[in-house]
């Protein structure tokens, strides 16, 4: 079978794939069908937190698959309960709803916010303020939440109840929060798909204060930034704020589909039986994988992420053909003189996989990528950018 031809014929053409077929991998090295190795700086867009086929993750997942691979949410399973407890203990949140993806984790966050505010202020208070240039997912509601017109154009009518504020403009946020009957503000502390741009510290703190003052909820979308990516377990921890709701997915289960919506004390009992649900949410195999990932996101790993990040910032800042370096931790954007897509293609030819985000080259390596591989890959990127 010619995999690429068959894929192009039968898989919906929503992805502009690179002409590379990956068949195997170990850690931060992946191998294509012709046996060529690549240093992987994509980690499946921030998913394979410890790289491909990591031994500890693999063992945890296989052991659970050999016991029970799925039960309906009408019954209890250990990995689901254990993971929820770990997430709450590590964040100070009170309860968790599990789903399968980032978009679903955000959908749940919005449902919780609307229900909580309807109960406390009335059902008219249903507006969710998100930021321009944000990205919150591909369901119709999350497209509407996403503050980028290019995602809206083909899919109108959008879901009402979302307005978009300019990032890093607290005055504008205050005006919007007053102009609308607002339930919640939802932000990404580092806008990933929007070009890997970290929000200003003062702004994030101001938004958290504003939410408290106006008695509206603060949702932080940690789908891409979460699970150690920015050098702390969740990116809001870099800003010293406490959100009411935190959504995450991507790197949580290290390569299996799992979304989580963490609920703070105020909203922990907002959802009642029947208000929300998911057939696969909290799947024991995905949760067992996530437990094994979360157990390893400790102070020493986070210190390593910050070190590697520092190295990358220092290496790329001022390098030929690189106009700016943005991001946080191992979530990095390079504004390059040449088109980002051309750089990614050149890197692939040289055996390094990286991504784009808007007009930037985006790097999301595994959290434990060995320094030697990171150095090698950085040299290739520098060469391709120059």
Interface with ligand PLP (CB under 6 A): 101-103, 106, 135-137, 188, 192-193, 221, 223-224, 249
Task: In whole angstroms, give the CA distance from residue 328 to residue 263.
Answer: 25
Q: Which is nearer to ligand PLP, 136 or 373 (CB)?
A: 136
Task: In whole angstroms, give the CA distance from residue 149 to residue 153.
Answer: 6
Q: Using an 8 Å Cβ cutoff, are 215 and 351 in contact?
A: no
Burial of 242 (0-12, 13-18, 19+ CB in 10 A): middle
Least distance from ligand PLP to the Cβ atom of residue 193, Å? 5
Least distance from ligand PLP to the Cβ atom of residue 220, Å? 10
Q: Using an 8 Å Cβ cutoff, are 378 and 67 in contact?
A: no
Q: Which is nearer to ligand PLP, 254 or 380 (CB)?
A: 254
- Nearest position to ligand PLP, beta carbon: 102
Q: Which is nearer to ligand PLP, 93 or 108 (CB)?
A: 108
**Nearest by Cα to 233 from 294, 144, 277:** 294
Pairing of β 37-40 and β 245-248: unpaired
Least distance from ligand PLP to the Cβ atom of residue 184, Å? 15
Residues listed for the chain: 386
Q: Which is nearer to ligand PLP, 187 or 288 (CB)?
A: 187
Helix axes 78-91, 284-296, angle to 10 degrees: 30
Least distance from ligand PLP to the Cβ atom of residue 231, Å? 17
Which residues make Cβ contacts (< 8 Å) with residue 44, sequence separation at least 6?
A: 255
Task: In whole angstroms, give the CA distance from residue 180 to residue 161.
Answer: 9
Residue 102, token pair as written in the block: 């980032």
Least distance from ligand PLP to the Cβ atom of residue 149, Å? 17
Q: Could you tell me where the DSSP H helices lie in the chain?
A: 3-10, 43-46, 55-67, 78-91, 102-120, 140-145, 170-179, 201-213, 284-296, 299-316, 340-349, 371-385
Least distance from ligand PLP to the Cβ atom of residue 106, Å? 6
Least distance from ligand PLP to the Cβ atom of residue 255, Å? 13
Q: Which is nearer to ligand PLP, 223 or 297 (CB)?
A: 223
Q: Which is nearer to ligand PLP, 32 or 356 (CB)?
A: 356
Q: Which is nearer to ligand PLP, 108 or 297 (CB)?
A: 108
């Amino acid at each position: 079978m010619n995999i690429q031809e068959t894929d192009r014929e039968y898989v919906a053409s929503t992805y502009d794939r690179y002409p590379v077929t990956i068949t195997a991998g170990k850690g931060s090295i992946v191998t294509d069908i012709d046996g060529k190795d690549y240093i992987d700086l994509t980690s499946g867009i921030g998913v394979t937190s410890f790289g491909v086929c990591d031994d500890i993750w693999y063992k945890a997942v296989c052991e659970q698959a050999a016991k029970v691979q799925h039960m309906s949410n009408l019954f209890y399973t250990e990995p689901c309960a254990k993971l929820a407890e770990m997430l709450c203990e590590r964040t100070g949140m009170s309860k968790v709803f599990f789903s399968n993806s980032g978009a679903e984790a955000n959908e749940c966050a919005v449902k919780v916010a609307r229900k909580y505010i309807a109960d406390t202020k009335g059902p008219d208070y249903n507006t969710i303020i998100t930021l321009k240039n944000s990205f919150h997912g591909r369901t119709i509601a999350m497209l509407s939440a996403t503050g980028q017109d290019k995602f809206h154009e083909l899919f109108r009518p959008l879901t009402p109840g979302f307005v978009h504020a300019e990032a890093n403009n607290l005055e504008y946020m205050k005006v919007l929060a007053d102009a609308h009957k607002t339930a919640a503000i939802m932000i990404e502390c580092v806008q990933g798909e929007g070009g890997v741009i970290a929000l200003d510290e003062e702004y994030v703190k101001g938004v958290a204060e504003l939410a408290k003052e106006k008695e509206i909820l603060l949702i932080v979308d940690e789908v891409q930034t979460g699970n150690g990516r920015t050098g702390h377990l969740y990116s809001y921890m870099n800003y010293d704020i406490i959100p009411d709701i935190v959504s995450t997915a991507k790197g949580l289960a290290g390569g299996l589909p799992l979304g989580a919506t963490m609920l703070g004390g105020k909203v922990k009992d907002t959802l009642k039986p029947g208000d929300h649900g998911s057939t696969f949410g909290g799947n024991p195999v995905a949760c067992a994988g996530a437990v094994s990932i979360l157990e390893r996101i400790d102070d020493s790993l986070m210190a390593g992420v910050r070190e590697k990040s520092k190295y990358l910032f220092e290496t790329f800042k001022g390098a030929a053909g690189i106009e700016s370096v943005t991001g946080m931790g191992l979530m990095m954007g390079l504004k390059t003189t040449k088109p980002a897509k051309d750089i990614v293609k050149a890197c692939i030819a040289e055996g390094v996989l990286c991504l784009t985000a808007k007009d930037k080259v985006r790097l999301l390596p595994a959290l434990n990528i060995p320094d030697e591989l990171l150095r090698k890959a950085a040299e290739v990127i520098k060469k391709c950018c120059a």
